[in-house]
Amino acid sequence: MAEYTYEVLVEYGAQAIEDIRHKRLTKAVEDITFINIAVTGVIANITKSFSQSALGHMMYDGVRTYFTKEAEHALHGEIVAVALFTQLYYNKLSEDKEALRLFMKGMDMPLTLQELGIEPTQKNLDILEAYLIDSPYVEQSEESFKLLHEAMKQMC
């Protein structure tokens, strides 16, 4: 199901964005909207979000909590997507980073914290890291904490 979702996003995502920019409601827009809301919701519930985009969504909460003004222009999906670089590293899937970067760049999405409006200072990274450490998606072990610490740099 997740693989199918990704395939649809790759195939129709750029067209849907272009259609939206021109205020056209097309099948591509409808399909991408359905995939993003309904299908990803089912996937998240089946997997309980572990090892998927859970850290990305927790990061969204952290950004909205601690960097409200800085990232006020950023959309939910943009914040989650930037945080997926952290998720990939944390899940030991760093080899997928370049494909994600190219995919996001092709849709004119922000790729870094700075592009979201948040300066990637050590202090700001520490704030977000502390927020994530207390989430149910980070294993409470020294090894996991070290992995998360390194993963945070992936959004810079």
pLDDT at site 44? 64
H helices within the chain, ranges in order?
2-21, 27-34, 40-47, 54-66, 76-90, 97-106, 113-116, 122-133, 142-152
pLDDT at site 42? 72
pLDDT at site 60? 95
Please indicate, yes or no, whether the overall pTM of this predicted structure exceeds 0.75: yes
Question: How do the pLDDT tens digits run along the chain, 156 residues long?
Answer: 778 888 888 899 999 999 999 999 999 999 999 888 877 677 666 665 555 578 888 999 999 999 999 999 999 999 999 999 999 999 999 999 999 999 899 888 999 999 999 999 999 999 999 999 988 889 999 999 999 999 999 999
Q: Could you state, in order of their start, the residue ranges of all structural domains in the chain?
A: 1-47, 51-156
The answer to whether 57 and 49 are in contact (CB under 8 A) is yes
